[in-house]
A and B are shown apart, each in its own frame.
Chain A
Amino acid sequence: MANSDDVSKRLGEEMRAISVAQFFEKNKHLLGFDNLTRALLTSVKEAVDNSLDACEEADILPDISVQIQQVDASRYKMIVEDNGPGIIPNKVGEVFAKLLFGSKFQTFGGKQGRGQQGIGISAVVLYAQNTTGKPARIITKTKSAKQATVVEVKIDVMKNEPIILSQTTIDWKNEHGTRVEVELEAKYVEKKASVSEYLKETAIVNPHASIKFVDPKGNKEIFKRVTDDLPKKSEKMKPHPYGMELGTLERLLKVTSARTLSSFLTTEFDKVGGTTATEILKVAGLDPKIGPKFITIEQADKLIKAMHSAKIQSPSTNGLSPIGADILKKSLESEYKLDFACSVTRTPSVYKGNAFVVEVALGYGGELDIEGPISLFRFANRVPLLYQQGACALTKATTTTSWKNYGISQSGNNMPTGPLIVIVHVASVWAPFTSESKDAVASIPEIVKETKLALQECGRLLGVFIGKRNRSQMAAKKREMFKNYSIELARELSKITNQDEKTLLTKLLQIAEEMYKSGQLKPEEEEAQLAKIEKRKVGAFKKDKDEDGDDYE
């Protein structure tokens, strides 16, 4: 599992040795620019993530519009505009044209955020510049500014510094917000892993956002806002001792302002009070009064072992910001016509000192495709995971759930089939990914288990719905069957006895109605009996079949 800290550190070190351009070229696959389709998707994702984060930070309900225009065969222009707080003009260069490595670089704790999952918008600017030579064009306006600032910016690939090509001001229709325009080598696809699909999924897990999309052909799509409640702001959380690793502890010991080991433990860590600190230090055999800066690596090692083995309360979960079961369900229903939807938000749980929470929503029937595998949408911290489905723990949890129990077809541990959408969202301060490209959640047993429990909880509700529906469909079918047989019977009896066919039929249907009412005829419960009869009529032996000869030719 990649620890973001380590990655950031490594990336930082590499940076010193080579230019950003070289670095980018070398690490394209890690950054999500390894092919033309993905490059476009990553660009949209970075821009939209930025917009969503900016709006939430400023308590603004996001209105985001995304537009893709085709320039020539393999060249596209991406325009993303938001109603965020805007950027002060002299910060534009730094935001868009200096590669930073996520906000986690300086912190030891953390908060649940989208930023965990990308290198940032400046990578998009760099990619655009590398492939088309064109600068990014930014329009931004803060509420207090009279006019919007228009900046054309490139990255100095040797120094990792912005180059401002031009900076002007214009009148702008928006009160505040930011617009990014970049031109890049890309390939636009429809359907799977498309921009539209990505935005739709993003909309599902960001029900407070309104997202508009205009594709290269000029078709418009609007993903409407489902709730006016902004997500609860995730708070910065202190690290929990259980999740601590040696390298991180060493650095923390160096930068802490605590004077003694004892106060280091109580101030820098989650859920560590005086008693727990004393306990840990006793086990580690360290003097509580030592200054943290004087701890040797051997002592740090003892300390971390004691931290891992101590009995400490589970980490706080207030830093987590799940979407919420009701809103998730509403959101799903607003994107798809469904016959049934249900959702669940599990109570927070913990892996290795990291709090996480799993949410699942299921949508069934309606306009969904009856054939083929179900649609599984995976999300980590409100960001869709579009690649590496097979390697993802959320996929594993889905395929190892016994869907047959809930009326959904599945062979073995394969992806089930049928008109079903499964949404799995993991929210965590430290979402564990299989690799730095952050496409798949690592198979942490606790996460797989929680996901399965959530799927089962929803599955049971789905099973009840499907069962009920099957029974009522069956009952309707049986009624229809009795009616059809009655028509046949009335006709034959009428032919034999010369009685009036219509009178007979009316009478037969009356009898049926009375029997339904009195409960003497319960078509939905006789399915089992019918199955039994079907079974019984199978013949045994080929040569016996024509016993008595005249039965067959």
Chain B
Amino acid sequence: MNKKNSDKSVAEKIDDLAKDTVSSIESGNNPDVTFPLRGLSNVYFDETQKMVKLGDKTQTRNFFNVGQAKKFMQTFLVARVIKELVKENITAPIRSIYYNTKHTIGDTSEETWEDQSESDPIIEDLEITLGSLREELHVRAGQKGSMVGNLTIIDAGDTIDLRKMGSGGWSIPSIVEKDIIKFKECEADYILFIEKDTIWSRFNEDKFWKKNNCVIMHGGGQPPRGVRRLVRRMHDELKLPVYVLVDNDVYGLYIYSVIKQGSINLAFESERMAIPEARFVGLSSFDQEKYKLPKNVTLKLKDIDRKRISEVLAYPWFKKKQWQDELKHMVEKGVKLELEALSAKDFKFITEKYVPEKIKNKDWLV
């Protein structure tokens, strides 16, 4: 396995990986590649850094093994394409990589990939094995997420005033490193990160960012890494506190945790993406009582929700008492609550009362 070696270019690292394999084939051995193991069994919670980090367990993939042969072959299929991208200096979406490398194997009916869920993890495996950043591989994700606020940025050389982005906002690209995105000037006091685009639109329509002098952004559900990386950069470089507003369900709370502490799947990227100081403003499991929301705006918990809650409760990075209380209270009530439920009060309740008061009263979770 190649050690992380940032002195070498990605193309060189791919060459090394392939040469290792070739020489083991030439000496008549079953070729193998060793990867750091990804997944719950190889992550831990770093108490000092307050982040989910990748452990040091590895997994060796052999070519001549019924269960591993295809993945082994797929790894070099992707590696070859990435080398070409790097050499030609173009970037490609992960979906294009999937299509570019999809073909029928020999005269069988088998395809190199069944669907994109097979090729995406192979790209992540390579990323981590080569010790290279996603953007160094010239690979990008489909973009999700928008942002507006009292801030001017430079995006690929174009100056963009985020106060003049109309109703749709500026669309956050998937690669947001310094060579592409620069911060020109910023007046905002904080970032409000909202789970969904629909609620974000409500905030934009009300010019919440103007009235409250902030930046509002969303990541379209689970935020892609471009969005996460940008929030982190703004937090670091512009010193903006981050407030997170999500649905009151286990997935919403988990989105908060991903922004704050990192995720299992991308644990190796936590140090570049996690924001341990991020604050949770809602929705809380206790909000229904607190704001006297009618019963009929709640949704009943399903079995799958309860199962996910019990899983999440067991994560070492979910051990804080208030977090446990949030989830346990949710189970006790047997219901969950969407952000839209606040409209039961008034359409402007969320933008004019709920969020401003939570922030003013420091009524948040950390």
Physical interaction between A and B = yes
Interface residues of A (CB under 8 A from B): 478, 480-485, 487-489, 492-493, 495-497, 499, 504, 507-508, 510-512, 514-515, 520-521, 523, 526-527, 529-530, 532-533, 539-541, 543-553
Inter-chain contacts of A549 with B (CB < 8 A): 141, 144, 219-225, 227-228
Contacts beyond the supplied A493-B18, A507-B25, A549-B222: 10 A-B pairs with Cβ under 8 Å: A478-B66, A481-B110, A482-B64, A530-B67, A541-B251, A544-B222, A547-B258, A548-B222, A550-B174, A553-B95
> Do residues A485 and B105 form an inter-chain contact, with CB atoms below 8 A?
yes
Q: Identify the closest chain B residue to A510 (Cβ).
A: B28
A550 to chain B, nearest CB (A): 3
Say which one of B73-81, B236-244, B345-353 lies at the interface with A: B73-81
B272 within 8 A of A: no
Contact residues of A: prevailing secondary structure: helix
Instruction: Return the contact of A541 from the options B26, B73, B120, B304 (Cβ within 8 A).
Output: B304
A474 to chain B, nearest CB (A): 10
Inter-chain contacts of B59 with A (CB < 8 A): none
Ordered by A's residue number, 7 sampled pairs between the chains whose C-beta atoms are within 8 Å are: A481-B108, A485-B72, A511-B30, A514-B28, A547-B254, A547-B263, A551-B141
> Do residues B25 and A511 form an inter-chain contact, with CB atoms below 8 A?
yes
> Do residues A484 and B106 form an inter-chain contact, with CB atoms below 8 A?
yes
B251 to chain A, nearest CB (A): 4
Total interface residues on B, CB under 8 Å, equals 59
Q: Identify the closest chain A residue to B76 (Cβ).
A: A492
> Do residues A543 and B251 form an inter-chain contact, with CB atoms below 8 A?
yes
B178 within 8 A of A: no
Interface residues of B (CB under 8 A from A): 14-15, 18-19, 21-22, 25-26, 28-30, 63-67, 69-70, 72-73, 76-77, 79-80, 83, 94-95, 105-106, 108, 110, 112, 116-117, 120, 140-142, 144, 174, 219-228, 251, 254, 258, 263-266, 304, 308
Inter-chain contacts of A489 with B (CB < 8 A): 63, 72-73, 76
Inter-chain contacts of B174 with A (CB < 8 A): 550
Inter-chain contacts of A527 with B (CB < 8 A): 66
Assembled-state Cα–Cα distance A481/B26 (Å): 21
Inter-chain contacts of B76 with A (CB < 8 A): 489, 492-493, 496
Inter-chain contacts of A545 with B (CB < 8 A): 117
> Do residues B251 and A485 form an inter-chain contact, with CB atoms below 8 A?
no
Instruction: Return the contact of B225 from the options A483, A499, A550 (Cβ within 8 A).
Output: A550
> Do residues A496 and B83 form an inter-chain contact, with CB atoms below 8 A?
yes
Instruction: Return the contact of A495 from the options B73, B80, B219, B251 (Cβ within 8 A).
Output: B80
A106 to chain B, nearest CB (A): 70
Assembled-state Cα–Cα distance A186/B158 (Å): 92
> Do residues B67 and A507 form an inter-chain contact, with CB atoms below 8 A?
no
> Do residues A515 and B64 form an inter-chain contact, with CB atoms below 8 A?
yes
Assembled-state Cα–Cα distance A540/B264 (Å): 14
> Do residues A497 and B25 form an inter-chain contact, with CB atoms below 8 A?
no
Assembled-state Cα–Cα distance A223/B217 (Å): 83
A541-B308, A550-B94 as given contacts; A485 in contact with B80, CB under 8 Å: no
Q: Identify the closest chain A residue to B249 (Cβ).
A: A543
Inter-chain contacts of A540 with B (CB < 8 A): 308
A482-B64, A550-B226 as given contacts; A507 in contact with B28, CB under 8 Å: yes
Q: For the complex of A and B, list the 8 residue pairs with the smallest distance between their C-beta atoms, beginning with the closest.
A: A550-B141, A549-B224, A526-B66, A484-B106, A496-B18, A492-B76, A533-B67, A550-B224
Q: Identify the closest chain A residue to B17 (Cβ).
A: A496
A340 to chain B, nearest CB (A): 27
Assembled-state Cα–Cα distance A204/B30 (Å): 55
> Do residues B72 and A484 form an inter-chain contact, with CB atoms below 8 A?
no
B13 to chain A, nearest CB (A): 11
B128 to chain A, nearest CB (A): 13
Q: Identify the closest chain B residue to A542 (Cβ).
A: B304
Assembled-state Cα–Cα distance A484/B14 (Å): 23
A145 to chain B, nearest CB (A): 70
Inter-chain contacts of A478 with B (CB < 8 A): 66
Assembled-state Cα–Cα distance A515/B63 (Å): 12
A484-B105, A511-B25 as given contacts; A548 in contact with B117, CB under 8 Å: no
Inter-chain contacts of B69 with A (CB < 8 A): 481-482, 485
> Do residues A493 and B64 form an inter-chain contact, with CB atoms below 8 A?
no
A544-B251, A547-B222, A551-B117 as given contacts; A484 in contact with B28, CB under 8 Å: no
Assembled-state Cα–Cα distance A529/B304 (Å): 28
Inter-chain contacts of B19 with A (CB < 8 A): 497
A283 to chain B, nearest CB (A): 69
Q: Identify the closest chain B residue to A521 (Cβ).
A: B64
> Do residues B70 and A546 form an inter-chain contact, with CB atoms below 8 A?
no
Inter-chain contacts of A481 with B (CB < 8 A): 66, 69, 108, 110
Inter-chain contacts of A520 with B (CB < 8 A): 30, 64
> Do residues B64 and A507 form an inter-chain contact, with CB atoms below 8 A?
no
Assembled-state Cα–Cα distance A184/B285 (Å): 87
Inter-chain contacts of B26 with A (CB < 8 A): 507
Inter-chain contacts of A551 with B (CB < 8 A): 117, 120, 141, 265
Q: Identify the closest chain A residue to B144 (Cβ).
A: A549
Assembled-state Cα–Cα distance A308/B28 (Å): 80
Assembled-state Cα–Cα distance A514/B222 (Å): 48
> Do residues A499 and B22 form an inter-chain contact, with CB atoms below 8 A?
yes
Q: Identify the closest chain B residue to A531 (Cβ).
A: B67
Assembled-state Cα–Cα distance A532/B223 (Å): 32
Inter-chain contacts of B95 with A (CB < 8 A): 553
Instruction: Return the contact of B77 from the options A482, A488, A532 (Cβ within 8 A).
Output: A488
A481-B69, A484-B108, A485-B69 as given contacts; A511 in contact with B18, CB under 8 Å: no
A488-B112, A511-B30, A544-B251 as given contacts; A552 in contact with B117, CB under 8 Å: yes
Q: Identify the closest chain A residue to B83 (Cβ).
A: A496
Assembled-state Cα–Cα distance A521/B19 (Å): 24
Q: Which of A493, A527, A546 has the most CB of B within 10 A?
A: A493
> Do residues B142 and A553 form an inter-chain contact, with CB atoms below 8 A?
yes
Instruction: Return the contact of A492 from the options B29, B30, B73, B225 (Cβ within 8 A).
Output: B73
Q: Which of B14, B15, B21, B95 has the most CB of A within 10 A?
A: B21
Q: Identify the closest chain A residue to B26 (Cβ).
A: A507
Inter-chain contacts of B106 with A (CB < 8 A): 483-484, 487
Assembled-state Cα–Cα distance A428/B19 (Å): 77
Instruction: Return the contact of B108 from the options A480, A496, A541, A543 (Cβ within 8 A).
Output: A480
Assembled-state Cα–Cα distance A166/B22 (Å): 97
Assembled-state Cα–Cα distance A376/B280 (Å): 70
Q: Identify the closest chain B residue to A553 (Cβ).
A: B142
Assembled-state Cα–Cα distance A483/B258 (Å): 42
A540 to chain B, nearest CB (A): 8
Inter-chain contacts of A550 with B (CB < 8 A): 94, 120, 140-142, 174, 224-226
Assembled-state Cα–Cα distance A345/B223 (Å): 71
Q: Identify the closest chain A residue to B79 (Cβ).
A: A496
A482-B69, A496-B14 as given contacts; A548 in contact with B266, CB under 8 Å: yes
> Do residues B222 and A543 form an inter-chain contact, with CB atoms below 8 A?
yes
A546-B222, A549-B223, A552-B117 as given contacts; A493 in contact with B22, CB under 8 Å: yes
Instruction: Return the contact of A548 from the options B21, B66, B263 (Cβ within 8 A).
Output: B263
Inter-chain contacts of B223 with A (CB < 8 A): 549
Inter-chain contacts of B258 with A (CB < 8 A): 547-548
> Do residues B105 and A511 form an inter-chain contact, with CB atoms below 8 A?
no
Assembled-state Cα–Cα distance A538/B300 (Å): 26
B124 to chain A, nearest CB (A): 8
